[in-house]
Amino acid sequence: GAGVSQSPSNKVTEKGKDVELRCDPISGHTALYWYRQRLGQGLEFLIYFQGNSAPDKSGLPSDRFSAERTGESVSTLTIQRTQQEDSAVYLCASSFRAGKQSTDTQYFGPGTRLTVL
């Protein structure tokens, strides 16, 4: 596609429910990132996928958060048993990485605004 897309654009859920957020990266981009942006704060790194390598999960805030990616395509971020503090905009980005050293640029999607009541 022309850019990174995310769905849904908005999600309202009740505390304790599970949610799934989807990211479609730019075709051909091998790297995919998830970030969380709480109101009035900067981006918080969550997880990073690069090709077939093991993902870097170092930013996931708790074991309620998980993410998957199928090959070099779609990724889903799952939040189980949502809490009110999970309310935020979840941003996905993709980039093309060429080798270990890369000066690639991340291209961001419009985000999913999650509200946990």
Binding site for other proteins (CB under 8 A): 3-4, 31, 33, 35, 40-45, 48, 50, 56, 58, 91, 93, 95, 97, 100-111
CB of 9 to other proteins, least distance (A): 10
Instruction: State the Cα–Cα distance between residues 35 and 89, nearest whole angstrom.
Output: 8
CB of 117 to other proteins, least distance (A): 22
What residues does 49 pair with on adjacent strands? 32
CB of 110 to other proteins, least distance (A): 4
- Phi/psi of residue 82, nearest 5 degrees: -55, 145
- Phi/psi of residue 86, nearest 5 degrees: -80, -10
Radius of gyration of the chain (CA): 14
At 103, is the secondary structure helix, strand, or coil? coil
CB of 72 to other proteins, least distance (A): 15
Q: Which residue's CB is nearer to other proteins, number 78 or number 102?
A: 102
Q: Which residue's CB is nearer to other proteins, number 16 or number 61?
A: 61
